[in-house]
Structure 1
Amino acid sequence: MSTGPVGVAIIGAGNISGQYLGNLTEFPDVRVLALADIDEARAAQAAGEYGIEVSGSPQDAFAIPEVEIVVNLTIPAAHAEVALAALRAGKHVYGEKPLALDVAGGRAVLAEAAERGLKVGNAPDTFLGAGIQSALRAVAAGVIGEPVAATSALESMGPEGWHPNPAFFYVEGAGPLFDMGPYYLTALVAALGPVSSVAATGRKSRTTRVVGSGPNAGATFPVEVPTHVSALLEFAGGCGASSTFSFDSPAFKRVLEIGGTEATLALPDPNTFGGPLLLRKPGEEEWSELPIEGTEAGRGIGVVDMARALRSGTGHRASGELGMHVLDVMAAISNSVADGAFQKVAADLRKPEPLPVAWDPREATL
């Protein structure tokens, strides 16, 4: 078994890459050895900014023997293709969400990894942050009593107001469900266990949208997917949840609550790593804030957890199996929108193990 920091290559130098690069080049248990992109000039520029020695094409990164984990930050349409190429090059893969555009693609990635004895990790890793981890510990400790039901909502007018190239948010495998749903669904599954069935409705408010910023401001692009989805989730453990995912709401909203027999817990925005974490008991007029403990280091902590698991021979938490279950749930929601019927979901996933409170990606352990 290898020792020392784990070599990493990042594929994709787009919008989200800055957060990963800023963290992974600082976390001591990983070493970023290469940055690749189909736009090699963009990769070279970013590599220079972060002191990464090698830039170029994905194939250039795969060819580096010391690279053990490929971090796949490509657009969703390329997630499965890049993951399969990395696995076939003998690399473990950690990818941005969703795992793939569809269930078949996700299962192909996991099957390839299993055949080759390689690990797959998948974002979001926000549920490993102090806020959600503290909420998971509170639920497990019985702070809210027996969990009964949950409510989640992601509502906004969509990313075209701030993203310079937003069209990919509105194609198959994106929209509010596939783009933002993984944050909410991952947190709910981590707290309540796997989903067993879903029912949903959805609509597309407009057939085209307008780029609101950047050099393409004013340009229109087509909308291929529902932009407002309302879902009912049934969990294998008996809880239920109602979830809304919308790019059609002028009221910016981020809600994630779990109600129990003794109290209700208001979790932090699951697209963040910190708090606040709030509790409200029967008869109380105001929420009280609970302390949070854990890391708030940001995107990439799932990669560090995976790297440490490689060295220890243990499992990692932001796993491909978790990402696959969330993809199964989102696909079932989409199918329910299309046919108006309840959809069953395979519920054989085990909840990820909690992080130790003192777990710190900025501390060298390898």
Structure 2
Amino acid sequence: MNGGPVGVAVVGAGVISGQYLRNLTAFPDVRVLGVADLDAGRAAAAAREHGVPASGSLAEILALPEVEIVVNLTVPAAHAAVALESLRAGKHVYGEKPLALNLDEAAKVMAEAANRGLRVGGAPDTFLGPGLQTAAHTLRSGLIGEPVAVTVAFQNLGPESWHPDPEFYYRPGGGPLFDMGPYYLTALVSLLGPVARVAGSTRRARAERVVGSGPKAGTLFPVDVPTHVNALLDFPGTATATATFSFDSPVGRKLIEVIGTEGALLLPDPNTFGGPLLVRGPHDADWREVPVAESTAGRGVGVLDLARSLRAGTPHRASGELTLHVLELMEAITESGERAEFRTVTSAVTAPELLPGGWDPYASTLS
């Protein structure tokens, strides 16, 4: 398969799959060939809604020879197993975050891919949107001087008020750090490069939570992970970041502020693809807006970049190495909170290359 659109299959037809399928079926450089789910009816319904020709079990979808990339949208506990089965079937894999529940599982995925000459990619891909791409260009232009410090905050009362089936958010692989942390940590690594060491402090506010909507409303379920996390991250030769991730706060916050020697940048919400991006110099009375192109990106642009990179023989940006590094950061923060000590980060990654000017998800590069 040396040319033309790249065949893709989606595994997991849950809530997030609608966004992926809507975008992937609109990109000219990929062709969605199948949807798999443990619930065959749900897979069939998703396939019908988005005009996908096949649906069924994972094994049935992996048997389609035209499928080159499997997009793994299953729950975190299944990420590694689905990735390994897909790799063993000769498919590249792109997964929702986190890459796996822990580093041991993630290492097996990466080793399997390396042994088979296949690629691994993963969410989040929001750093490929014009908002964070413009932030990277602005930072590298020297507008705010050298980065010195970063403040990060994600805070709310948790997803159980709106999600009809929220238990998985409070199992291993969930919580505010593993659920929302990847957006913020990936944004930081894409801007500043890898983290060398971390410290963390964690707590669990309540042993149980209550489903707030849907058919399970009123149901109690256990909380197995920290729900409030504070972290300190050291970027070698550059900034130090402080971060808070919380499902215990009545005050909603979504913040990434980069302080430099000549000013500060206020970044967009890293769970989105657009702006606004704000800058403030040492003599400015207030923030001013940095122009950001209108976002045509959405969930799945990382899959598209992987597909185009496969055809071009170039590195993809939302890479397995990047997702592995972010997973190690989260695991090290959790371990630091348990042991009350700094933890060294050993995985190596470089900040992804910026997208070329004029990069357009809807203009084919494969002609």
SS at structure 2 position matched to 1:67? coil
Distance 1:124 1:231, change over 3 A: same
Q: Is the 8 A contact 1:125 1:300 kept in 2?
A: yes
Superposed CA offset, 1:137-159 (max 9, x none):
00111111001110110000000
Alignment TM-score, normalising by the size of structure 1: 0.99
Question: What is the Cα deviation at residue 295 of structure 1?
Answer: 4.5
Question: What is the Cα deviation at residue 363 of structure 1?
Answer: 0.8
Kindly indicate whether residue 48 of structure 2 is the aligned counterpart of residue 48 of structure 1: yes
Counterpart Cα distance in 1 of 2:237 and 2:309:
28
Kindly indicate whether residue 359 of structure 2 is the aligned counterpart of residue 359 of structure 1: yes
Stretch of structure 1 that moved more, 248-257 or 235-244:
235-244
Counterpart Cα distance in 1 of 2:337 and 2:294:
38
Question: What is the Cα deviation at residue 126 of structure 1?
Answer: 0.3
Q: 1:275 maps to which residue? A: 275
Q: Is the 8 A contact 1:294 1:357 kept in 2?
A: no
Q: 2:304 maps to which residue? A: 304
Counterpart Cα distance in 2 of 1:35 and 1:352:
30
Alignment TM-score, normalising by the size of structure 2: 0.98
Q: 1:165 maps to which residue? A: 165
Counterpart Cα distance in 2 of 1:205 and 1:24:
39
Counterpart residue type for residue 2 of structure 1: N
SS at structure 1 position matched to 2:181? helix
SS at structure 1 position matched to 2:196? strand
Counterpart residue type for residue 29 of structure 1: D
Q: Alignment length, in residue pairs? A: 366
Kindly indicate whether residue 258 of structure 2 is the aligned counterpart of residue 250 of structure 1: no
Counterpart residue type for residue 279 of structure 2: L
Question: What is the Cα deviation at residue 248 of structure 1?
Answer: 0.3
Q: 2:144 maps to which residue? A: 144
Q: Is the 8 A contact 1:176 1:227 kept in 2?
A: yes
Question: What is the Cα deviation at residue 285 of structure 1?
Answer: 2.1
Matches within 5 A, 1:9-158: 9-158=9-158
Superposed CA offset, 1:6-31 (max 9, x none):
00000000010000010001110000
Q: 2:319 maps to which residue? A: 319
Q: 2:260 maps to which residue? A: 260
Kindly indicate whether residue 186 of structure 2 is the aligned counterpart of residue 183 of structure 1: no
Question: What is the Cα deviation at residue 293 of structure 1?
Answer: 3.3
Runs of at least 4 residues of structure 1 off by over 3 A? Answer: 293-296
Counterpart Cα distance in 1 of 2:347 and 2:46:
41
Counterpart Cα distance in 1 of 2:294 and 2:312:
21
Q: Percent identity?
A: 61
Stretch of structure 1 that moved more, 313-322 or 340-349:
340-349
Counterpart Cα distance in 2 of 1:294 and 1:120:
29
Q: 1:207 maps to which residue? A: 207
Counterpart Cα distance in 2 of 1:5 and 1:238:
41
Q: Is the 8 A contact 1:129 1:294 kept in 2?
A: no
